Amino acid sequence: MKSINPTNGEIIREYQEHTYTDVRLIIENAYQAWSDWKERSFESRSALIKKTAQALRDGKEQYARLMTLEMGKLLRESMAEIEKCAIVCDFYADHAAEILQDEEIKSDASRSFITYQPLGVILAVMPWNFPFWQVFRFAAPALMAGNSVLLKHASNVPGCALAIENIFTVAGFPNGIFKTLMIPSAGVDQVIAHPRVRAVSLTGSESAGSHVASLAGKYIKKSLLELGGSDPFIILEDADMEATIKSAVNARMINQGQSCIASKRFIVVKSRVQEFESGLETAFDKLIIGNPLEEKTQVGPLARADLVDEIERQVLSSVESGARLVSGGKRPSRAGCYYKPTILSDVKYGMAVYHEETFGPVAVIIPVDNEAEAIRVANDSEFGLGGCVWTTDLRRGEAVARKIISGAMFVNGMTKSDPRLPFGGVGKSGYGRELGSNGIKEFMNIKTIWIG
């Protein structure tokens, strides 16, 4: 396994993969550790999760730099990601016991109630774009609930994967409760098939999700999928355009546009298209491309060379189909996996960027006649992860938000995740929920007890 710096293409380090014999031993250890872990009190687990949050904060600079080196995230975004991981640990350490307390239900029994019990060993298949956050938003609730966790991380961030395992070790977790599997994607099948593994959570591509879900179904195991998105950013005629443009830049360019909940389709009522397009172009042209370790940099590299090839294909194909290139649309003349911030306008049905997820710094503007057409276009997608609507009429914004088919909608704010709120999608964006009270219950046996 090679860790390659996308800023310059240099190999950072090579890592030895686990053999399947190693993997089987790790799984067995995880199961044996879970047998004791599930009996621990919430107070005992909470104390260790709190120590995990502290370990993250203590090593923030070290972990942030590692993220930036391995996948190109701006250093300040990496720092914020580490803090967010600590926050999610604190949230579940403080609230898991309350969320998972027994629930009394009136029935024909003298007493009946629901109790929540952990499933066991859970496999987490995680992506590279938020290499710490994606893991901790799953692991914090899963561990607080009494499960043990196996991590199969993306192959281009092996350093992050091992660093995360070490954080749990430093925090004092029992051996085997959290373990990184250094295996390629092809090795996931055997892990899911193992009888000790009871469920799988995947954040990643549509194709990976389909494959993992089919295997989980074959072996009758719980699965949760958080897949891609093509989030709509709806701008109505009464939007505050200055605030809208400012948010649009952040919503599209976070993590170089490599986020499942980054706004990707800017659906704009025609009377405001020119104003929005001009303002977005001005903002994009001012963005500074450079080394993500440097404070002045606003646009870093994409995580891998093949991702640059894919975003370039989508842009060229759409321009050939009639989309208007407003700005960008090419690679800058520098080494590394860079692509210029790009705006495509006059985008219509049938173009690649209308239908496909654009995982990079490309903003797609789709003009519409009115609110009704904006809703129709927003829902004209196989994805359904998040989205937002911009209007000075909050009641109108709420009404529009209710009509969009997605896992979340934001009114006058960019789509984001919050430990207190459930997160997930519908359609080809996946199923199940992470975060909030819903997220910690995903990998529990929701058990009815009836007493006559």
Residues with catalytic function: 226, 260
Whether the Cβ atoms of residue 433 and residue 424 lie closer than 8 Å to each other: yes
Using CA atoms, how far apart are residues 385 and 264, in angstroms rounded to an integer? 12
32: left (phi over 0), alpha (psi -120 to 50) or beta: alpha
Burial class (CB in 10 A: 0-12, 13-18, 19+), 77: middle
Nearby residues of 82 by Cβ (< 8 Å), 6 or more positions away: 56, 57, 59, 60, 63, 64, 132
Using CA atoms, how far apart are residues 345 and 279, in angstroms rounded to an integer? 13
Using CA atoms, how far apart are residues 128 and 252, in angstroms rounded to an integer? 18
Bridge-based pairing state of the strands 148-152 and 263-269: unpaired
Whether the Cβ atoms of residue 63 and residue 85 lie closer than 8 Å to each other: no
Bridge-based pairing state of the strands 148-152 and 121-125: parallel
Burial class (CB in 10 A: 0-12, 13-18, 19+), 154: buried
Whether the Cβ atoms of residue 422 and residue 433 lie closer than 8 Å to each other: yes
Half-sphere exposure of 189 (CA within 13 A, CB side): 5
Residues linked to residue 102 through DSSP beta bridges, in sequence order: none
Using CA atoms, how far apart are residues 231 and 236, in angstroms rounded to an integer? 16
Using CA atoms, how far apart are residues 400 and 281, in angstroms rounded to an integer? 27
Q: 87: how many CB neighbours lie within 10 A of its CB?
A: 17
Using CA atoms, how far apart are residues 318 and 285, in angstroms rounded to an integer? 21
- Nearest of 163, 176, 167 to residue 86 by alpha carbon: 167
Q: Collapse the DSSP code of 25 into the 3-class scheme (helix H, G, I; strand E, B; otherwise coil) and give the result.
A: helix
Give me 360's structure tokens. Answer: 């990079």
Using CA atoms, how far apart are residues 379 and 265, in angstroms rounded to an integer? 11
